[in-house]
Amino acid sequence: MTDDTGILQHARSSIADRREGYTTDDNARALVAVLKYYGLRGNERTLRLAQTYLGFLLHAQKEDGRVHNFIGYNRGFLDGEGSEDSLGRVLWACGYSQDNPIPEDFRMTAKEIFDKSLPWALRSGSPRTQAFAILGLHYYAKAFPQDKNPPLNMIHLADRLCEAYRHESKPSWQWFEPNLTYANARLPQALFRAHQTTRKQRYLDIAEKTLEFLAAEDIIEDMFRPVGNWSWQKRGGERELYDQQPIEASCMVEAASAAFQATGKERYSKIAWIAFDWFLGKNSKNIMVYNPETGGCYDGITPEGLNRNQGAESGLSYLLARLEMEVLRKKQPRSSLREAEQN
């Protein structure tokens, strides 16, 4: 899926569809994935991919710090300005780059991109943009522990997520928004990371409440069944079961892993395993969503079965989840790991 420009957005079956071009969203995800792989395995060839993805983000960033999202196969921009989510993912990826054993010039380029884009996230009203920026700041703060600004910026963003929660939550709806949409688990994940950085108890309290609520909505009889994207689940309304997308399982794995790291509670490890098993056939259709023949991942589960296309978002969702399970294995005691695998 990757050429000398970046990772292509879509595929027909497992064949990259060049007509659809590239997105900043996918190249930011890809940068996180290959850097996580490099951190776990130390594979030098991975750095060449990371350079391609970082170069893409540098190309996509505008002079004022905002970013384009859609880029054609001819490398021309297809939008005047990208979404706030794409800005947030750039911050996540470039922040993640700072706490990683990669060459110094690589880190400095990522830092320049991060510093230039951060002011726009601090002004954003999008909970997901705020969450992605918090994730980036978590790693940025680890890399520069003497710098007081990253924790202060994180507090600013985390407080806004908490305010959204206080405004929208009800006793039966412990959430940040009046509906469940996409990449839902990123929101509590961000607050777990904010707690780890700042040690503020209110972030942990809301992170646990909202992740428990989301898990209760998405896990039925130990099976992950995320809200379908035919229509988002409104507060008090019915939920759609289809189409189910890999991004939801991936985000739940990463959020539950962050929760385990922040609290040590085995329940969160079990949630991560249940969500990961969605890729491997423990889902409402009992079908493998990960494709071991190509190393890719199908684009989702429909009422009729698999969406047979294997685009960038889906493949990266599986890879990010798979790598996070390795992180979880390293942090989990052997006895509890065996118990989680058996369950």
pLDDT for 127-166, tens place per residue? 999 999 999 999 999 999 999 999 999 999 999 999 999 9
User: Helix, strand, or coil here: 343?
Assistant: coil
pLDDT averaged per 10 residues, the chain (length 343): 96 93 98 96 91 98 97 95 96 97 94 98 97 98 96 98 98 97 97 98 98 97 93 88 96 98 96 98 97 95 96 97 94 54 48
For residues 336 and 269, the answer to whether their CB atoms sit within 8 Å is: yes
Reported pTM:
0.95
pLDDT for 229-245, tens place per residue? 888 899 988 889 999 99
| Measured distance CA(18)–CA(12) in Å, rounded | 10
Q: Which residue has the tokens 């684009």?
A: 299
Contacts of 297 (CB under 8 A, 6+ apart): 246, 279, 289, 290, 291, 310, 314, 315, 317, 318
| Measured distance CA(149)–CA(240) in Å, rounded | 42
pLDDT for 306-320, tens place per residue? 999 999 999 999 999
All structural domains of the chain, each given as residue ranges with its CATH number in brackets, are 1-124 (1.50.10.20), 199-343 (no CATH)
Instruction: Identify the CA nearest to 135 among candidates 32, 264, 282.
Output: 32
| Measured distance CA(244)–CA(242) in Å, rounded | 5
